[in-house]
Amino acid sequence: MEIPLTPLEFFRRARKLHPDREAVVDGNDRWTYRQFGERCDRASAALAKLGVVQGDRVGTIAPNTHQHLEQYYAVPQIGAVIVPLNYRLTAEDFVYLANHSGAKVLCVHPDYFALVDSVRDQMKTVEHFIGLGGAKEGWLDYDQLIEAAPAKVPAVEIAETDLLSINYTSGTTSRPKGVMITHRNAWMNSVGVLAHWNMTPAVRYLWTLPMFHANGWTFTWTVSAAGATHVCLPKVEPLLIYEIINQEQITHLCAAPTVLIAIANGPEAQRKAVRKGVKLFTAGAPPAAPTIERVEGELGWEITQVYGLTETSPFISICESLPAHEKLSSSERAKLKALQGVELITSGETDVVDENMVPVPHDGTTLGEIVARGNVVMKGYYNDPEATEKAFAGGWFHSGDAAVVHPSGYIEIRDRFKDVIISGGENISSIEVEGALLRHPSVLEVAVVGMPHEKWGESPNAFIVLQSDKTATAEEMKAFARENLAHFKVPSAYHFVTELPKTATGKIQKFVLRGSQAGIAAQ
């Protein structure tokens, strides 16, 4: 008899084999897999008592707390669909997402009560508002609900093609789209991670990545699959990260680019004192080679670059380390580690193709679009057949990412297609220019965009955030760029800013920079 492929099977196994192993740490509170499992079962029963049935959507707005983690088990155990919402969004965003998903229940951390209360009358489908970690008038108390509920999950039959979650994209240029992830999608992604990253019951995983972001890159379930320990981190701060890594003997964590930069540039004394040997997954944007060198060289950690999208559960490639790579210098190895790599063993097919869907040559220079098909690719966009059809043109999912393939078969992203700069007929990768400028010792962050230019049509312009204790001038940056880039790739203007505009998931909003003329003039 076949058993559906679902991450709930990981949880069943962990509870059976590791009942007394520490499952979750949240501040001073700790739960074994037996205790954590019982809480999740009671939460399932409580949701069912409120009328949540198979197929219903349950939204969450919360940081990385144990109550939030419990929803990734409590909700799907009764066949319902979890809808994790980015807590950094606006009240208007929450209204749109709650209504678009048709959420019946909204589970909210107390930090966001006031925001939700200001618009809750506009959330037409929400029948119950639950406080995760506290309550007030008009809100149900989550802990009281699960204390009163039996530790018995209502029986439901789950198919692996059933919806597990609806994850909304960042929506940088339009309304967010609801990515439909199935039980099979998530199971495949988790198994792929376990095949490439050595996770055992000895692993202690720190939640530096938001759980709402693509289901925490599916680590909400992958950590349990390994029988490992979830260590919750409600707020991401470098000093706190260093402290908890030492205190809790952390072995693994994930970091989006902004968090990786923060970790790499924390106070020197704390960096030197932090625990060595931590393994780190990074994705979301190619990390700069200097950042990789600092994290691996100074902190003594091991970085693995992965690539994917919310629409692919999320991983479709990994920069897999090979024995030959060990012979490279640290700087050469850092450049290689910034590549997006090769297919995960479970992700299916990934390719780079031209506009006619013909694979590009493996020459490291011919630009194409990354496309994918396989078991981790989403079911489609929720209530958006037009966007779904466009995304799957030609039978492949289209990423919108421009990339090349090296002779080794390793993929390297050069840009989003909309961010490729065409100057004087030459294609310029903003990512390549950013990587060069990040090697300057005064630069903390940089974004490069194309701006109108009288002679060249458009030219690269750099927006730079400096290290807090460093200075630099436009002339100095230009001279540095000319030493490290082909001259046609050198930015024509340099704009020093205190911060870069970003989406709620930390992606730089280059369209905002392109729309800004302040301080920008062709030189």
Percentage, residues of the chain above pLDDT 70:
96
C-alpha span between 145 and 448 (Å, rounded): 50
Helix (H, G, I), strand (E, B) or coil at 353: strand
If asked whether residues 273 and 410 sit together in one domain, one would say yes
Fill in the DSSP letter of residue 508: B
If asked whether residues 292 and 386 sit together in one domain, one would say yes
Token digits of residue 254:
């994930």
Positive or negative CA dihedral for 94, 96, 97, 98?
Answer: positive
CATH code, domain with 457: 3.30.300.30
Give a yes or no: residue 216 inside a domain: no
Per-residue confidence (pLDDT) for residue 293, from 0 to 100: 84
Per-residue confidence (pLDDT) for residue 494, from 0 to 100: 96
Per-residue confidence (pLDDT) for residue 519, from 0 to 100: 39
Give a yes or no: residue 213 inside a domain: no
Cβ–Cβ < 8 Å for 30, 208:
no
If asked whether residues 483 and 393 sit together in one domain, one would say no
Q: How many CB atoms lie within 10 A of CB 329?
A: 8
Going by their DSSP bridges, the two strands 140-141 and 163-168 should be labelled as: unpaired
If asked whether residues 365 and 256 sit together in one domain, one would say yes
Give a yes or no: residue 252 inside a domain: yes
Distance of CA 375 to the CA centre of its chain: 19
Token digits of residue 352:
């780079």
In which domain, by residue range, is 350 found?
Answer: 236-416
Last residue of a domain, one of 369, 391, 416: 416
Last residue of a domain, one of 387, 416, 445: 416
If asked whether residues 393 and 270 sit together in one domain, one would say yes
The count of structural domains within the chain is 3
Residue 254 has pLDDT above 70, yes or no: yes
Per-residue confidence (pLDDT) for residue 338, from 0 to 100: 83
C-alpha neighbours within 13 Å on the C-beta side of residue 334: 17
Token digits of residue 432:
């390549």
Torsion of CA 489, 510, 287, 438, to 10 degrees: 50
Of all helices (H) and strands (E), which one includes residue 369? strand 368-373
Count of all residues that appear for the chain in the document? 523
**Backbone φ, ψ for residue 61 (5° rounding):** -135, 100
Q: How many CB atoms lie within 10 A of CB 19?
A: 14
What DSSP string describes 483-502? HHS-GGGS-SEEEE-S---B
**What phi-psi label fits residue 254: left (phi over 0), alpha (psi between -120 and 50 degrees) or beta?**
beta
C-alpha span between 125 and 102 (Å, rounded): 6
* Better-predicted residue by pLDDT, 510 or 473: 473
If asked whether residues 55 and 75 sit together in one domain, one would say yes
If asked whether residues 394 and 487 sit together in one domain, one would say no
Cβ-proximal residues to 19 (8 Å cutoff; 6+ apart), any chain: 32, 33, 34
> What's the chain's average pLDDT?
92
Going by their DSSP bridges, the two strands 315-318 and 302-308 should be labelled as: antiparallel
**Backbone φ, ψ for residue 286 (5° rounding):** -60, 125
397-415 confidence digits (pLDDT tens): 999 999 999 999 999 988 8
What DSSP string describes 199-263? --TT-EEE--S-TTTHHHHTHHHHHHHTT-EEE--SS--HHHHHHHHHHTT--EEEE-HHHHHHH
Per-residue confidence (pLDDT) for residue 432, from 0 to 100: 85
Give a yes or no: residue 199 inside a domain: no
Per-residue confidence (pLDDT) for residue 521, from 0 to 100: 38
If asked whether residues 100 and 244 sit together in one domain, one would say no
Give a yes or no: residue 373 inside a domain: yes
The pLDDT confidence band at residue 171, using thresholds 50, 70 and 90, is low
If asked whether residues 146 and 256 sit together in one domain, one would say no
Poorest-confidence range of 46-55, 166-175, 316-325, 458-467? 166-175
* Better-predicted residue by pLDDT, 162 or 517: 162
Give a yes or no: residue 1 inside a domain: no
If asked whether residues 344 and 466 sit together in one domain, one would say no
Token digits of residue 143:
């802990």
If asked whether residues 69 and 152 sit together in one domain, one would say yes
Give a yes or no: residue 206 inside a domain: no
C-alpha span between 417 and 415 (Å, rounded): 6
Among 479, 419, 65, CA closest to 233: 65
Per-residue confidence (pLDDT) for residue 522, from 0 to 100: 36
Per-residue confidence (pLDDT) for residue 514, from 0 to 100: 83
Cβ-proximal residues to 16 (8 Å cutoff; 6+ apart), any chain: none
Alpha-carbon distances, residue 328 vs 196, 285, 325, 333, 407 (angstroms): 21, 24, 5, 6, 17
Last residue of a domain, one of 400, 416, 432: 416
* Better-predicted residue by pLDDT, 324 or 380: 380
Cβ–Cβ < 8 Å for 188, 5:
yes
293-331 confidence digits (pLDDT tens): 889 988 999 999 999 999 999 999 999 988 888 888 888
Q: How many CB atoms lie within 10 A of CB 59?
A: 28
If asked whether residues 272 and 375 sit together in one domain, one would say yes
Poorest-confidence range of 145-149, 244-248, 293-297, 512-516? 512-516
Q: Which amino acid is at 220?
A: T
Per-residue confidence (pLDDT) for residue 417, from 0 to 100: 80
Fill in the DSSP letter of residue 89: S
C-alpha span between 281 and 302 (Å, rounded): 9
Q: Tell me the whole-structure pTM to 2 decimals.
A: 0.87
Cβ–Cβ < 8 Å for 166, 178:
yes
CATH code, domain with 310: 3.40.50.12780
> Exposed, middle or buried, 4 (CB in 10 Å: 0-12/13-18/19+)?
middle
Helix (H, G, I), strand (E, B) or coil at 413: strand
Per-residue confidence (pLDDT) for residue 523, from 0 to 100: 35
Give a yes or no: residue 385 inside a domain: yes
